[in-house]
Amino acid sequence: MNASLLITPGAVEVRSVPIPPLEHDEVLVEIATVGVCGSDVHYFHEGRIGDFVVEEPMILGHEASGVITAVGSGVPARRIGERVSIEPQRACRVCEQCKRGAYNLCPFMEFYATPPIHGAFAQYAVIQADYAFAIPDSMSLEAAALCEPLSVGIWSNQKAGTRPGSRVLIAGAGPIGIIVMQVAFAFGASEVIISDIAETRREAAARFGATRTIDPTREDATNPSLEVDIFIDASGAEPAVKSGIMALKPGGRAVLVGMGRDEFALPVSRIQAREIELTGVFRYANTWPLAIQLASSGKVDLDSLVTGRFGLDAVEEALNAAVDPHALKIVVTPNISA
C-alpha cells in the first residue's frame, strides 16, 4: 500500500509499504478520511512531543475513518463492508488503569501516530475490532474521522462537569475549541464564551453558536462580570490559562486541553482561596458511542468544520495548511472505493 511517512522533521514522503498483517481480533480498514491534528503538526516540525520521539520513519495521522475490507480469524465476517470510525488506540486491558476504566492512562498504550506506532496517513490501517465503531448511513466518513477530536471535546466536558445551566469559558477557537463549545451546549451549558487572538477564529466561533467572543488583546478575560463555572483551555497559551483560572467563580473547574510549554506559572493563591479544581486531559476513554450519537443527531456539527482536503501525496501541504488561522479542520483523503 502507499503511505505518507514522516522521514525527518519537516520532511514527509509517500512510500510503498506492506499492508499490516491482521491479528485474530483485528480488522483491516481501507482509510477514507484522516483529520490533521495539532500533534501531527508538532511531530512534523519538531520530531517529538515530550518524551515521545520519532526515531525512524513513521506514518502520522490518528483521526481516521474508512471501510472494513478484511477481518481477523476471531472477528465475524459480516463486519466486512462496514463504514467505521476508528478509536486509534490499543490498551493492554489488564493493568490497574485499564481495570478501573481509565484505559487512556494505560502505561502500555499503543496509540496511532505516537512513536513507534504507525498512524493512518495511508491506504489501509489495522485496529482491534472493538475499536472500529460502525456509523449510521446518514453520517459522512469525514464526520466519522472527526469523532476523534469530538471525543476530546466530550472527555473535556466530562472532566469539567458541564451540566445544564453551566457558564463556560473556552480559550482557543480552533477546531478543538469549537468542538468543546458544541459539546458544552449539547451537555446543557447555558452560555459559552470563547477567547482567541485571531479575528477569523472568533468569527468562526460565533458562526458555530458562541454566546460571546473575546479578543484577549483588547479585553481582559479576568473581567469580574465573567465569574464562570468552567474554564477549558484549548490554546496551550500561558496567558490564556492564567486568565481563564482568574475568571472562575469559587468552586469552579479548570481543564487543560491545549498543548503548550511543559511548565509555566499558575495563580496558586487564587486556586487555593477559591478552591478551584484544576485537571488535565489525556486523550479519552469510552467516548465513541456518544460521539457518534452527537454527530449523527446533529447536536454537534463536524462536517462544517472541514475547510481543506488534500490527497495522500500532499500530506506536507495539509500539515502546513493546518496552522493557517483561516483554516478550521484540514483532512487527508486517500483514494477509497466506497
Could you give the number of structural domains in the chain? 2
Chain-centroid distance, C-alpha 122? 19
pLDDT of 180 higher than 70: yes
Query: Starting at the edge strand that comes first in sequence, how are the strands of the sheet with 248-256 ordered?
Result: 212-214, 191-195, 167-171, 228-233, 248-256, 277-280
Q: Which domain holds residue 212?
A: 153-280
Nearest-CA neighbor of 70 among 13, 102, 27? Answer: 27
Do 61 and 114 lie in one domain? The reply is: yes
Task: Give 267-325 pLDDT, tens digit per residue.
Answer: 999 999 999 999 999 999 999 999 999 999 999 999 999 999 999 999 999 999 998 98
Model pLDDT, residue 87: 98
Lowest mean pLDDT among 130-144, 182-196, 228-242, 254-268: 254-268
Examine residue 127 and state whether it is found in any structural domain, yes or no: yes
Band (226; pLDDT cuts 50, 70, 90): confident
Model pLDDT, residue 254: 98
pLDDT of 337 higher than 50: no
**How many other CB atoms are there within 10 angstroms of residue 286's CB atom?**
15
Do 174 and 263 lie in one domain? The reply is: yes
Mean pLDDT of the 206-223 span: 88
pLDDT of 229 higher than 80: yes
Do 318 and 253 lie in one domain? The reply is: no
Model pLDDT, residue 8: 93
Band (261; pLDDT cuts 50, 70, 90): confident
Mean pLDDT of the 44-54 span: 89
Examine residue 288 and state whether it is found in any structural domain, yes or no: no
**How far is residue 280's CA from residue 256's CA, in Å, rounded to a whole number?**
5
Question: Do residues 6 and 40 touch, judged by C-beta distance below 8 A?
Answer: no
Question: Which CATH number does the domain housing residue 90 bear?
Answer: 3.90.180.10
Do 164 and 131 lie in one domain? The reply is: no
pLDDT of 191 higher than 90: yes
Examine residue 292 and state whether it is found in any structural domain, yes or no: no
Model pLDDT, residue 338: 37
Alpha-carbon separation of residue 151 from 64, 147, 241 (angstroms): 13, 6, 22
Model pLDDT, residue 222: 62
Do 6 and 142 lie in one domain? The reply is: yes
In percent, the amount of the chain with pLDDT more than 70 equals 98
Do 267 and 157 lie in one domain? The reply is: yes
pLDDT of 210 higher than 90: yes
Question: Do residues 223 and 212 touch, judged by C-beta distance below 8 A?
Answer: no
Do 200 and 319 lie in one domain? The reply is: no
Do 142 and 7 lie in one domain? The reply is: yes
Examine residue 16 and state whether it is found in any structural domain, yes or no: yes
**How far is residue 33's CA from residue 65's CA, in Å, rounded to a whole number?**
5
Do 108 and 23 lie in one domain? The reply is: yes
Do 216 and 94 lie in one domain? The reply is: no
Examine residue 63 and state whether it is found in any structural domain, yes or no: yes
Do 142 and 55 lie in one domain? The reply is: yes
Q: Global pTM?
A: 0.95
Examine residue 338 and state whether it is found in any structural domain, yes or no: no
pLDDT of 221 higher than 70: no
Do 120 and 158 lie in one domain? The reply is: no
Model pLDDT, residue 49: 86
Q: What is the mean pLDDT of the chain?
A: 95
Examine residue 216 and state whether it is found in any structural domain, yes or no: yes
Model pLDDT, residue 223: 66
